[in-house]
């Protein structure tokens, strides 16, 4: 019985990971319907850096639909289990990369709350050069 429970939880995790990957790939292709199918109808999206909250799948989709920049999405990794999942992505706006961390709370297979953080790249201080090494490219 314990093996069945573990397999079931593992299967749910694999399913959620696949749906999150599908979400980001749909974002890359501009397939807005598939991109937003992962959200519950009453989902909440928070952008802490701008202080904005979007309530409801339709508002989440509408605010993304009016973005003027050419955007591309690169998934670095997707981690999580149960009801909490994190996607680390690079979103390129008009050729300029922005690092993004998306924290998604999932209930019954749908995102009910997402908090998304954005960070611009910066040059490393020269004084740390002897201590650091480049981050290798990640294959997912």
**pLDDT tens digits along 41-74:** 999 999 999 999 999 999 999 988 777 788 899 9
pLDDT of residue 136: 83
Model-level pTM? 0.84
pLDDT of residue 41: 98
**Tens digit of each residue's pLDDT (9 = 90 or more) over 120-134:** 888 888 999 899 998
Name the band, by pLDDT with cuts 50, 70 and 90, for residue 140: very low
DSSP strand E in 1-140: where? 39-47, 52-55, 71-81, 84-93, 96-107, 110-119
CA separation for the pair 127, 46 (Å, rounded): 36
User: What share of the chain in percent tops pLDDT 70?
Assistant: 91
């Amino acid at each position: 019985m314990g093996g069945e429970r573990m397999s079931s939880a593992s299967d749910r995790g694999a399913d959620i990971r696949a749906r999150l990957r599908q979400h980001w790939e749909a974002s890359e292709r501009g397939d807005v319907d598939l991109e937003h199918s992962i959200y519950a109808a009453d989902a909440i999206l928070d952008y802490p850096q701008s202080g904005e909250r979007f309530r409801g799948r339709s508002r989440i989709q509408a605010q993304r639909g009016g973005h003027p920049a050419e955007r591309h999405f690169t998934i670095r990794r997707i981690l999580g289990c149960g009801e909490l999942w994190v996607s680390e992505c690079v979103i390129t706006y008009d050729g300029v990369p922005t690092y993004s961390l998306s924290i998604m709370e999932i209930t019954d297979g749908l995102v009910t709350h997402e908090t998304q953080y954005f960070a611009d790249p910066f040059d490393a201080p020269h004084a740390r050069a002897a201590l650091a090494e480049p981050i290798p490219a990640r294959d997912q």
